[in-house]
Homo-oligomer: A and B are copies of this chain.
Amino acid sequence: MTTSPVTSGTHQAARAAGPPLTERQQERRRRILRTAAALACRGGFDAVQMREVAESSGVALGTLYRYFPSKIHLLVATMQDQLERLLEQLRRHPPAGDDPGTRVTEALMRAFHGLQREPQLAEAMVRALSFADRSVSAEVDQVCRLTTAIVLDAMGQDRPPSARQRAAVRVIEHTWQSALVTWLSGRSSIAEVRSDLETAARLLTLE
């Protein structure tokens, strides 16, 4: 066990152990993530091959594994990266809508369309996310926190959410996650995804 540059996103989010990355290291990390996303875009999960990621980002295989201890870690980090971007974007242009339910559905559907634009990338990230085992749970958790942030933002409520609302948010997130999986495996349509999100969002305005 050596210390390693495995820290999470480039953002202000919770950072854990390890010395801060040097400039060159951050650069390497970004390059790797960019390559992974590019490979995923054309070919999905299977096209992200560790040897090729390493080569294309000009890094030795061992180094790649020092940054991301598995292919799953790599793809989950990629998802984190994308979600952070999305969250920023949503903050710049928050969804309009009369009630929280509508806004939440809107925000998630916008996220959905973002993913739809690069379906192969989405496939790669989501499969990694749901295949992840305990060794990745910290990173997956981070992704969940980002989703929660998106939903809470969309609710756009001053007060902290009530217990009921927090419960509703959990179910909305479950629905989002699972709907994504079924959509990617071709078992449900965009329309169904929207309808499912709307149904779950009804829990927000309940009582």
19 contacting pairs across A/B (C-beta < 8 A)? A45-B133, A127-B131, A130-B131, A130-B181, A134-B186, A136-B185, A137-B187, A170-B192, A170-B196, A171-B171, A171-B175, A173-B178, A174-B179, A174-B196, A174-B200, A178-B178, A199-B203, A202-B203, A203-B203
Q: Is A206 in contact with chain B by the CB < 8 A criterion? A: yes
Residue of B nearest to A131 (CB): B131
Main secondary structure of the interface of A (DSSP, over half): helix
CA distance A168 to B131 in the complex (A): 26
Question: Chain A interface: which size bin?
Answer: 35 or more
Residues of B within 8 A of A203 (CB): 199-200, 202-203
Q: Give how many copies assemble into the complex.
A: 2
- A96 interfacial contact with B, CB 8 Å: no
Chain B, Cβ-Cβ closest to A207: B202
Interface string of A104-123 (1 = CB under 8 A from B): 00000000000000000001
Interface of A with B (CB < 8 Å)?
A: 45, 123, 127, 130-134, 136-137, 140-141, 144, 167-168, 170-171, 173-175, 177-179, 181-182, 185-187, 192, 195-196, 199-200, 202-203, 206
> How far apart sit A159 and B160, CA to CA, in the bound complex (Å)?
41
A199 touches B140 (CB 8 A): no
Is B144 a contact of A187 with CB atoms below 8 Å? Answer: yes
How far, in Å, is A198 (CB) from chain B's closest CB?
A: 8
| Alpha-carbon distance A37/B178, docked complex (angstroms) | 25
Are the CB atoms of B199 and A171 closer together than 8 Å? yes
The distance in angstroms between the C-alpha atoms of A134 and B187, with both chains bound, is: 8
